[in-house]
Chains A and B, each alone.
Chain A
Amino acid sequence: MDAIFLQILNGLDKGGAYALIALGLTLVFGTLGVVNFAHGALFMLGAFCAVTFQNILTLSRKVKDESITFFDAYKEIPYLEIWFGETGMAIIDWAVPLSLLMAIPVMLVIGLVMERGLIQYFYKRSHAEQILVTFGLAIVLQEVIKSFFGANPIPTPAPEIVAGSANVGALFGLGDTVVYPYWRLIYLLFSLVVIGAVFAFLQFTTFGMVVRAGMADRETVTLLGINVERRFTVVFGIAAIVAGLAGVMYTPILPPDYHIGMDFLVLSFVVVVVGGMGSLPGAVAAGFLLGILQSFASMNEVKSVLPGIDQIIIYLVAVVILLVRPRGLMGRKGVMED
């Protein structure tokens, strides 16, 4: 029982990341009709926003180390610490959550530039060409990041106060064996909040209403004299922000390197397809579902029966779903069916 509970929790935070990326993918696909293979790169750019922010905060000056007396020793002290003392240290400690503030505008700009600069010319082209050009873009972004930050994963720790693990078991009346890192819990909550915010935005604002109407019947909305395209551009920006935030918050869980986006992208596409192309709830549900399935498959008990299942479970599920329910779990009729 404890083990099962723990695996569900384990699956949920990974599922949260899948769901966030898949949500953005589906949003872009549902509105613009573009299959965006560069979406994983947006996730990666978000993660590197956190890295950059941390680097900025820890800009240091070489100071003579007074505690060592027999020779001249120097240590690097961040400017923030020199200027603000304890407060400065605390700010550095909170680098990852604070970088969310930087990531939102940066990702918005990146998203808008990407859409206006490249994606808009591909609305009328075939899906194969969309896939290819965004695939190329993903490679370019990834290599640019690599040339700036190197190929190795960069550690970006969570704030110290949430570095430990929570005894979740006690909360639910289970044994003491169910302990779980705070940050992963935060990630789960964070992803739920972001997903909720996106849905609320689409459901309860006029802007969202127009977007939904445009998703359902673009032509009619255009005939009503509404500039749908401009709104869809904003939607692309929002999708970029969602992917970026998912990336920022994931950095303490997995130190980012330049191909983290590609790793997530392939999985996220599978998630979108399982959830049903163009269905937002489907993408979210499938994200969490596949996350949980994956963590169950990596239990030793399961692996001893079916060796290697943890490596392929997601793909296996995708194959089965596509063959049994071709539209995915919640896919709409007429989407991507030619």
Chain B
Amino acid sequence: MGFFKLSRRDAMTMLIFIALVLLAPIWLRPFGAAYPDLLQKFAIFGLFAIGFNILFGLTGYLSFGHAAFLGIGSYTAVWSFKLMSMNVIPAVFFGTLVAGLFAVLIGYVSLRRTGIYFSILTLAFAQMCYNLAYSVLTPITNGETGLRVLQDDPMVIDGLFGVVQEGSPIGNFFGINMQGYPAFYFCAVMLIIGFFISLRIFRSPYGLKLAAIKSNQNRMKYTGFNTRPYLLWAFVISGMYAGMAGSLMAVTDPLAGAERMQWTASGEVVLMTILGGVGTLIGPMLGSVLIKYFENIFSAFNKGALHDVFAFMPDWLENLVVAVVHPFVGEGWHLTLGALFMVIVIFLPGGLMEGFRRLSRLRGRKPAK
């Protein structure tokens, strides 16, 4: 069982991670984030970002098209619901698999180029998927309406076992309906598995090779090392993570729409990874949780709510503060996101993890003085 062997430190990391994830409904309560819908989002986008980090963080290849895999995973999962069974296991399995197949194709072509060309190629493929999903592929994707599971869908396997759907179809895990906390725990288990695999990759010789490609690909090639297959694997693995995240989206809400594939969605996962810290283990998870958390809080504010928050101030100050803050919340949440993006890239390119490292170094130095 060499695969499960971890160094003591990694084992600790893993245990803490598992504890944090599983106990999230409890320790996130004081932050007002302990309700299932949001927790599911944390887990799903965490998985997405962790996978993206395997490509971007380890190899330095910046893909601007990962949302395509997210969308493909969602569509496949919904089709698996429609054709086979409302059980979520086949949905996640096929969602991941099909996204992986697409990743092989797209990666094989895109990885022939590096740098910005690679970014543009992945962007081009993602935009192709998005445009096609909206136009010609409407029979498969149901266009703008979005693909949803209907009562009269075949669901062959469910039919064999005599499972009857009542009401609107909901994904289930051998009888447990995938809503609320059960759905979160399903996503959480997937997240833990994903995190574990990512940890193993980071610590493996394979991960080292990827990191070597990032630091100097030419030198790797000069030593007679064919980097292409390793890069392709990294691309496919991260594509599969995205596919799994997409299928989990479909699990928690059996609906798939093309807007998940838009390139702004690809930009979002880049932002999550950068915010947390590119190339670190925990960073992407941290980034996605923070972004989804603040998105949830900020976009709920409107002018009235703001006035309530700042009600303790004198009236003139209150009005001033509300006027300043208002464009950044509610509808203007994207403005905050964009500004945050810039601030992080400008001042803290290593993300929050680098910030923590700097802080701890500062603290370590003080006693020496």
Contacts and interface: CB of A to CB of B under 8 A. Distances in A.
Nearest to A133: B345
A143 interface: yes
26 contacts: A121-B346, A128-B119, A132-B274, A133-B342, A135-B341, A136-B342, A139-B334, A139-B337, A139-B341, A140-B338, A140-B339, A143-B335, A144-B327, A147-B332, A269-B123, A270-B120, A308-B135, A308-B136, A308-B137, A315-B124, A315-B128, A315-B131, A318-B124, A323-B109, A326-B117, A336-B116
Contacts of A76: none
A147 B125 CA distance: 32
A127 B116 CA distance: 7
Interface string A117-134: 010010001011101110
A21 B369 CA distance: 55
Interface string A53-78: 00000000000000000000000000
Contacts of A312: 127-128, 131-132
Contacts of A262: 264
A280 B334 CA distance: 34
B338 A136 contact: yes
A interface bracket (residues with beta carbon within 8 Å of B): 35 or more
B124 A131 contact: no
A105 interface: no
Contacts of B264: 262
B347 to A, nearest CB: 10
Interface of B: 60, 62, 109, 112-117, 119-121, 123-125, 127-128, 131-132, 134-137, 218, 263-264, 267, 270, 274, 327, 331-332, 334-335, 337-342, 345-346, 349
A134 to B, nearest CB: 9
Interface in A69-95: none
Interface in A297-331: 307-308, 311-312, 315-316, 318-319, 322-323, 326
A270 B274 CA distance: 25
Contact of B120 (A125, A139, A273, A338): A273
Given A136-B342, A312-B128, A322 B335 contact: no
Interface of A: 35, 118, 121, 125, 127-129, 131-133, 135-140, 142-144, 146-147, 262, 266, 269-270, 273, 277, 307-308, 311-312, 315-316, 318-319, 322-323, 326, 336, 338
B341 A132 contact: yes
A131 to B, nearest CB: 7
Nearest to A269: B120
Contact of A35 (B116, B137, B341): B116
Given A135-B267, A322-B117, A316 B345 contact: no
Nearest to A259: B264
Nearest to B114: A338
Contacts of B109: 319, 323
B345 A129 contact: yes
Contact of A131 (B62, B334, B342): B62
Contacts of B131: 308, 311-312, 315
A315 B332 contact: no
SS class of chain B's interface: helix, strand, loop or mixed?
Answer: helix
Given A131-B62, A308-B136, A266 B117 contact: no
Nearest to B270: A132
Contact of B342 (A35, A140, A316): A140
A241 to B, nearest CB: 23
Contacts, number: 116
Given A127-B116, A269-B123, 20 more contacts: A125-B349, A127-B115, A132-B345, A133-B342, A133-B346, A136-B338, A140-B339, A147-B327, A270-B124, A277-B117, A308-B136, A311-B128, A311-B134, A312-B127, A315-B125, A315-B127, A319-B124, A319-B125, A322-B112, A322-B120
Contacts of A140: 335, 338-339, 342
B94 to A, nearest CB: 24
Contacts of A144: 327, 335
B161 to A, nearest CB: 38
B60 A128 contact: yes
A308 B117 contact: no
Contacts of A326: 112-113, 117
Contacts of A323: 109, 112
A336 B115 contact: yes
A327 to B, nearest CB: 10
Nearest to A319: B124
B132 A308 contact: yes
Contacts of A266: 123, 127, 263
A147 B270 CA distance: 25
Contacts of A308: 131-132, 135-137
A260 to B, nearest CB: 14
A132 B337 CA distance: 12
Contacts of A133: 341-342, 345-346
A198 B339 CA distance: 33
Contacts of A318: 120-121, 124
A118 B137 CA distance: 42
Contacts of B346: 118, 121, 133
Nearest to B343: A136
B341 A136 contact: yes
B212 to A, nearest CB: 15
Contacts of B114: 338
Which 7 A-B pairs rank lowest in CB-CB distance, beginning with the nearest?
A308-B136, A139-B338, A136-B341, A143-B335, A311-B131, A136-B342, A315-B124
A137 B123 contact: no
Contact of A147 (B218, B335, B345): B335
Most buried by B among A127, A140, A262, A316: A140
Most buried by A among B116, B135, B136, B327: B116
Contacts of A273: 116-117, 120
Contacts of A338: 114-115, 218
A50 B274 CA distance: 36
A63 to B, nearest CB: 32
Most buried by B among A121, A125, A146, A273: A273
A89 B112 CA distance: 58
B253 to A, nearest CB: 25
A35 B345 CA distance: 15
Contacts of B342: 118, 133, 136-137, 140
A147 B124 CA distance: 30
B240 to A, nearest CB: 22
